[in-house]
Structure 1
């Protein structure tokens, strides 16, 4: 039987896999996808110019997100336990929550990103961060 913690972490993991795949889709589709996702004109133009940097940045983000999803699935008991799962889940939750809350301070560093990008991505980060937090708190309460 899945507990609220397991369900929360499984849902978080699923959302993070979707986010990882969305990043990979940007690489596959190209500049049009970067623009649609709100990554900014500078990033889209770099893709159009054949620069490697946007692809590498996007691959790193997609890879990190995939690993974070694996940790969520590990905490949910859907995959074998990974090293430092509880610590990792706490840190991942903190990163997502910090990203959600800190967008007003981050935004000036990325002026090309659209307002829609900041609002949507911050909202998604808030939901995912809360799912990780609920999951890890529920797991701790049964131990």
Structure 2
């Protein structure tokens, strides 16, 4: 059975966790560069714990997604609600990826313009690729993630 798709997805979401740790450590300039926005950078500059708190939640989420991908690949034990969570993760990533392509094209939203259309499109491409890796893993390992004994 092919598990590489889940492994690639796990690696990418784990790298996302590490990136968010780096953003927390890097401070205001990193929040700006990552697209978190001027407000988060200002809060980080004023020593507010809110940006680090939100970033830490994202670190935990992306790390959890990595664990679910590894579970889907059969590398670690089966985690609870494996099929449901893998489908949700793939769906969220694909929707975010597609959303990011259409928003700059359809609307001149201040957020996208301030962030930079190329950054927005590039980050959307990353989300889409991650989602497609999870979707390919689901497809190739459907029996396993569904709990069917083979």
TM value normalised by structure 1: 0.87
**What runs of 5+ residues in structure 2 fail to find an aligned partner?**
none
Tell me the matched-pair count.
140
CA distance in 2, matches of 1:89, 1:31: 33
Alignment partner, residue 72 of structure 2: 75
Alignment partner, residue 53 of structure 1: 50
Q: Deviations over 1:60-86 (max 9, x none)?
A: 111111101100000011111101111
CA distance in 2, matches of 1:37, 1:27: 11
The answer to whether 1:35 aligns with 2:32 is yes
**What runs of 5+ residues in structure 1 fail to find an aligned partner?**
none
Alignment partner, residue 23 of structure 1: 20
Larger Rg: 2
CA distance in 2, matches of 1:47, 1:13: 29
Segments of 4+ in structure 1 off by > 3 A?
105-114
Assess, with a 3 A threshold, how the Cα gap between structure 1 residues 48 and 107 changes in structure 2: closer, same or farther.
farther
Alignment partner, residue 139 of structure 1: 141
What SS does the corresponding residue of 1:58 show, helix, strand or coil? helix
Alignment partner, residue 119 of structure 2: 117
Tell me how far 1:117 sits from its aligned partner: 3.3
Alignment partner, residue 91 of structure 2: 94
Higher relative contact order (CA 8 A, sep 6+): 1
CA distance in 2, matches of 1:58, 1:106: 28
CA distance in 1, matches of 2:19, 2:93: 17
What SS does the corresponding residue of 1:102 show, helix, strand or coil? helix
CA distance in 2, matches of 1:116, 1:25: 22
TM value normalised by structure 2: 0.83
